[in-house]
Structures are given as C-alpha cells and as structure tokens.
Amino acid sequence: MRIVVTGGRGDLGGRVVRELQARGHDPVPASRRTGVDLATGDGLDAVLEGADAVVHAASSQTRPQSVDVAGARRVAETLQRLRSPAHVVSISIVGCDLVPYPYYRAKVDSERALEDAGVAATVVRATQFHSLAAFFASAGRVGPLSFAIGDMRVQPVDIDWVAQRLCDHATGPAPSGCRRATDLAGPTAYTAREVADLLATHDGRSVPRIVRVPPFLPVLKGFSQGAILPDPDAEIGGRTFEEWLASQPVPLPRRFHSPT
C-alpha cells in the first residue's frame, strides 16, 4: 500500500515510516523537509494523489492550530477533491479533552476537523511517550529537589508500539466515517516519586526530594487529578518505562526525542 505519513521525519512519524517499510508497504514521508507544508497546503495535492492511506503524525507545539488542526482539515479536503477514499489515521493524546492546555485543545480540534470532514478516519489517542515523561521529570529536577505537580501520575507508552498500532490501523480496513480507536497506554502508572527515582538510578545520581507544586491552575489540576491517565478499557502494550530506560544512554539526554 502507498501510505503517506505526515510528519514522517519526526519521532513518531519516522518510526511509522520504518515499520511500514519493514512490512513491505510504500510509505511516503510528508513534511516541510520533503516539500509538504501542512500550514499552507503546499505539496499536498501531489503527495496525496494515489494514496491508499494517510497517517497524520505531523505536529507543531508552537503552531498546533496550523499544523495539527488545519493540517488535518487540509488533508481531508485534499482527499475529497482528489476523490480519494484514503483512510486517515491520526494520532491524538489521552485526556486531551479534559485538560485546558492549548496544545491539547488543538488535538481535540484536530480530531473534530476529521469528524466534520466526513472522511474515513481513525483517531488513535495515546498517553505520553516514555521520552516525554522522562523529559518532564528531568526538567523538574533542580539539584537535590524534584518538582512535581500535585498528585500527578503518568502511564507512559512505548513510541515504537504506538507506531506499530498506527500501522495496523492504516493497513487494516477503513471505517465508513470517523471513529475513535481504543486508546493506547503503557503497562504501568507511575507517581512523580517513582519516575524521579528511576531516572536517578539510571543516571547514577542520588534520589531527589520531591517538592509538590500545588495544582493552582486548571491545567495543573487536570494533570494532578489523573486526566491524562488511560481509562480501564485502554489497550495496554509495549515496553515498560523501566525497559525503555534500560535501552537509553547514560546519562539520559535532556531532550524530547528518544534515539531508539
């Protein structure tokens, strides 16, 4: 199958591309680096022509309304104009509708854009990737202290497994309209204490003292109250945070994206 992957040079999109290749498909990465700009629509017609499916994994933390939302809308409109019934599989975030954080709002808007367009679409929500959970815990550590938002817990997920599930959806049967797939989450939920201890052990540092920041803003309240934890009916899979951490360099790089 010819499968266009928006954000196909990104962390998740790159894994989707490699997984599709390994399965014998013909993935086509689509992002600014390949001449496709979702914020303007440049290059979309050409890349979507003849696509059997699209995985929408392009995203911008700084311009999510242009890339995640308008990008999803442009993909859907272009497919309709080309009279292509290609199935769009779009990645979203568990609990994005429960936390008033602008990037999360954009994920909800992106889901709605596909729903409103009436194309065959599957929206897959996932919890935080292991690298993001680690990044936030590392960023919250200052010397012997680690700052945590209230009672926040995370149930991070293996990005490679998420990529595999996106590929399963993209190569599987298309729905007749827009549907929400079962949410994806990793096997274990962790407190801030547990994440901080695991990172400290990995890096060979002393375990920090946890300082709880009261969730005084609605966004923080949402995180503290478990809005980003999966429902009991979520699909659980992939490596645990401990297994992922064991595969990472020491010390863990202070960045968003994981090398493997």
Ligand X SMILES: NC(=O)c1ccc[n+]([C@@H]2O[C@H](COP(=O)([O-])OP(=O)(O)OC[C@H]3O[C@@H](n4cnc5c(N)ncnc54)[C@H](OP(=O)(O)O)[C@@H]3O)[C@@H](O)[C@H]2O)c1
Question: Could you give the CA distance from residue 184 to residue 257 in angstroms, rounded to a whole number?
Answer: 19
Residue with tokens 């992939």: 238
Residue closer to ligand X (CB basis): 62 or 176? 62
Sign of torsion over alpha carbons 233, 108, 175, 118: positive
Residue closer to ligand X (CB basis): 119 or 166? 166
Helix H or strand E encompassing 193: helix 192-203
Residue closer to ligand X (CB basis): 31 or 164? 31
- Which residue's Cβ has the minimum distance to ligand X? 10
Q: Closest approach of Cβ 209 to ligand X, in Å?
A: 26
Residue closer to ligand X (CB basis): 65 or 207? 65
Q: Closest approach of Cβ 91 to ligand X, in Å?
A: 4
Question: Could you give the CA distance from residue 233 to residue 137 in angstroms, rounded to a whole number?
Answer: 27
Provide the binding-site residues for ligand X, judged by CB under 6 A: 6-7, 9-13, 31-33, 36-39, 57-60, 67-68, 91, 93, 107, 126, 128-129, 132, 257
Q: Closest approach of Cβ 250 to ligand X, in Å?
A: 22
Q: Closest approach of Cβ 185 to ligand X, in Å?
A: 10
Give the burial string for 62-91 (b: 16+ CB within 10 Å, else e).
eebbbbbbbbbbbbbbbbeeeebebbbbbb
